[in-house]
């Protein structure tokens, strides 16, 4: 019998978190994919496999964000089922089979573009898969919040978070924000402990703004602020404004039969099987 090998010669990069379970999955995948004829390389990959949790996929996203238009991601979770991960550690054989049959199908979700304007005229641009958060280091953050050209409110509190639809189940959810289906192209502004009394007033609830809209936060005081983008935190003393919008580019995931329904994931992660 003639064994036909996969001839597409797709380039696959793998990233694993540092624990025995992830490392075992890495070894198993490496061996299986090599045997199947894939090129295993961290340079210019077509597919990136992240092994670990959702946090690991965030790291993989940032490592390859410059290739966002051409790369597809797939996540293997070594714990419970994650939001960015379709496979579990015991599904490795199935993942290899699905990769062999892969025809390039993808499922795409919005990412956030963060534009940081510094007082010295410098402009820095970041991309977030989950969210970006602005906080003042000491004392209450006072900032003007603009939505498009409208001065929406003056915020007082710990900070503000702007999340993507897929990030809505992360920090945003802890802040009381709504869970958004990832096919909704929008971003969500959520307050972090806003001050609301007879003097200070903010909306108090989170807002969901459409793709074409832009949000800007202008901190009032010349002080030290932290800007967190997913799992990284940057510190600045000279922020003029931070702008947020849905990016032109999207994140692409490998669309496989294993891609479970978003609502199933939300239920699995936050509700579970409650006895009635």
Residue positions annotated with a catalytic role: 54
Does 226 bind ligand NAP (CB under 6 A)? Our answer is: no
Query: Least distance in Å: CB of 101 to ligand NAP?
Result: 27
Q: Which residue is nearest to ligand NAP (CB)?
A: 55
Q: Which is nearer to ligand NAP, 45 or 167 (CB)?
A: 167
| Residue 131 touches which member of ligand NAP, Mn ion, none, C-beta under 5-8 Å by kind | ligand NAP
Binding segment toward ligand NAP, per CB under 6 A, in 19-27, 48-56, 105-113, 148-156: 48-56
The answer to whether 268 is annotated as binding is no
- d(Cα 6, Cα 223) in Å, to the nearest integer? 57
Q: Which residue is nearest to Mn ion (CB)?
A: 55
Q: Which residues lie below 8 Å from residue 146, measured CB to CB, with a gap of 6+?
A: 152, 214, 215, 216, 217, 218
Binding ligand NAP (rule: CB under 6 A), the pick from 109, 155, 171, 244 is 171
Binding ligand NAP (rule: CB under 6 A), the pick from 64, 73, 83, 87 is 83
Does 79 bind Mn ion (CB under 5 A)? Our answer is: no
Q: Which residues lie below 8 Å from residue 43, measured CB to CB, with a gap of 6+?
A: 11, 13
Binding ligand NAP (rule: CB under 6 A), the pick from 78, 169, 206, 245 is 169
Does 55 bind Mn ion (CB under 5 A)? Our answer is: yes
3-state secondary structure 235-268: EECCEEEEEEEEEEEEEEEECCCCCCCHHHHHHH
Q: Which is nearer to Mn ion, 8 or 55 (CB)?
A: 55
Q: Which residues lie below 8 Å from residue 77, measured CB to CB, with a gap of 6+?
A: 52, 53, 54, 85, 87, 88, 89
Binding ligand NAP (rule: CB under 6 A), the pick from 46, 230, 236, 246 is 230
Query: Least distance in Å: CB of 53 to ligand NAP?
Result: 3
The answer to whether 131 is annotated as binding is yes
Query: Least distance in Å: CB of 117 to ligand NAP?
Result: 23
Q: Which residues are annotated as a binding site for NAD(+)?
A: 54-55, 130-131, 156, 158, 169-174, 193
Contacting positions for Mn ion (CB under 5 A): 53, 55
């Amino acid at each position: 019998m003639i064994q036909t090998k996969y001839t597409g010669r797709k380039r696959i990069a793998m990233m694993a978190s540092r624990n025995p379970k992830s490392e075992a999955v890495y070894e198993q995948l490496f061996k299986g994919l090599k045997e199947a004829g894939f090129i295993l390389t961290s340079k210019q990959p077509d597919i990136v496999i992240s092994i670990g949790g959702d946090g690991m996929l965030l790291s993989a996203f940032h490592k390859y964000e410059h290739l966002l238009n051409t790369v597809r991601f797939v996540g293997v979770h070594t714990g419970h089922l994650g939001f960015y991960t379709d496979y579990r550690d015991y599904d490795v054989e199935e993942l290899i089979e699905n990769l062999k049959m892969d025809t390039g199908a993808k499922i795409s979700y919005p990412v956030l573009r963060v534009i940081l304007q510094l007082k010295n005229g410098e402009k820095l641009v970041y991309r977030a898969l989950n969210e970006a958060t602005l906080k003042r280091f000491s004392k209450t953050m006072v900032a003007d919040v603009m939505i498009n050209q409208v001065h929406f409110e003056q915020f007082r509190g710990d900070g503000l978070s702007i999340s993507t639809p897929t990030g809505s189940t992360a920090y945003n959810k802890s802040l009381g924000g709504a869970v958004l289906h990832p096919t909704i192209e929008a971003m969500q502004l959520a307050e972090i402990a806003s001050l609301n009394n007879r003097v200070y007033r903010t909306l108090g609830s989170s807002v969901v703004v459409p793709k074409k809209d832009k949000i800007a936060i202008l901190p009032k005081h010349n002080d030290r602020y932290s800007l967190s983008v997913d799992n990284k935190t940057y510190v600045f003393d000279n922020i003029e404004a931070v702008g947020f919008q849905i990016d032109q580019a999207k994140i692409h995931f490998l669309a496989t039969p294993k891609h479970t329904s978003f609502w199933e994931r939300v239920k699995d992660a936050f509700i579970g099987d409650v006895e009635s």
